[in-house]
Chains A and B, each alone.
Chain A
Amino acid sequence: MISIFACEDDSLIRGAIEKEIKSHIMILNYDMELTLCTGDPEELIEYVRENPKRGVYFLDIELRNSKYDGFDLGKELRKYDSRGFIIYVTSYHDLAFKTFQYHIEALDYIVKSDPEEMLSGIRRCIDTVVKRMEEEANDERKEYYTIKVLDTVKHILISDIYFFETSSRTHRIILYAENERIDFIGKLQEIEDDLSPRFIRTHRSFLLNIDKIKELNVKRNEIIMTNGQVCLMSRQMKSLLIKKIEERSK
Chain B
Amino acid sequence: MRDMQTYMWLVMFGLLIISAIVNSYVWFTLSSELLYKKKNLDICIKFTIGYFIYAFLLIAIEILFAWDYLEYAIAGLVGWFWEIMGACVLLILLYYRRNKGDFLKIASAVFICQFYLKNFTSFFETFSLKFMIGFYQSEYFLIQALMALFVQVVGPAGGLIILIILRKVEFRKHFASLFDTRKKGIITYILCFLLMCSDPVISFFYADWTNSNLYMIYAVSIGFVIILLMLFIATFETNRIKLNSQETLILQQEAYLQSLEGLQREMQAFRHDYKNMMSGLYLQANEGDIIGVQNFVKDSLQYFERNLGTEIKQVTQLNNIHNMQVKSLLMVKQIEIQEKNIDFKLEVLKQIETIGMDVEDFLRCLGILLDNAIEAACESRDKRVSLMLLNEDKEMTVVVENTFGKKPELHKIWEKGHSSKGENRGIGLSSYRQIVEQYSNTMASTSCNDSTFIQELRIRRAA
Contact = CB atoms under 8 A, between A and B. Distances in A.
Interface residues of B, number: 42
A66 interface: no
B125 to A, nearest CB: 39
A93 B437 contact: no
Interface in A211-243: 227-229
A102 B445 contact: no
B394 A151 contact: yes
A229 B410 CA distance: 10
Contact of A168 (B98, B388, B401): B98
Contacts of A81: none
Nearest to A172: B443
A71 to B, nearest CB: 6
B443 A96 contact: no
Nearest to B348: A96
Contacts of B446: 180-182
B70 to A, nearest CB: 42
Interface string B25-38: 00000000000000
A62 interface: no
From B345, B414, B443, B446, residue with most partner A Cβ within 10 Å: B443
Interface residues of A, number: 32
A96 B411 contact: no
Given A93-B308, A94-B313, A168-B98, A179 B410 contact: yes
Given A98-B388, A168-B99, A150 B409 contact: no
A170 B43 CA distance: 12
B216 interface: no
B316 A229 contact: no
Nearest to B448: A179
A176 to B, nearest CB: 6
A150 B446 CA distance: 15
Interface in B176-235: none
Nearest to B98: A168
Given A103-B397, A113-B301, A181 B447 contact: yes
B411 A229 contact: yes
Nearest to B399: A102
Contacts of B443: 149-150, 183-185
B323 interface: no
A113 B302 CA distance: 8
In order of increasing CB-CB distance, the 3 nearest A-B pairs are A96-B347, A180-B447, A182-B445
21 contacts: A93-B306, A94-B313, A96-B347, A99-B349, A102-B399, A103-B390, A113-B301, A113-B302, A113-B305, A114-B302, A149-B445, A162-B411, A168-B437, A176-B410, A179-B447, A181-B410, A181-B445, A182-B445, A185-B443, A227-B409, A229-B411
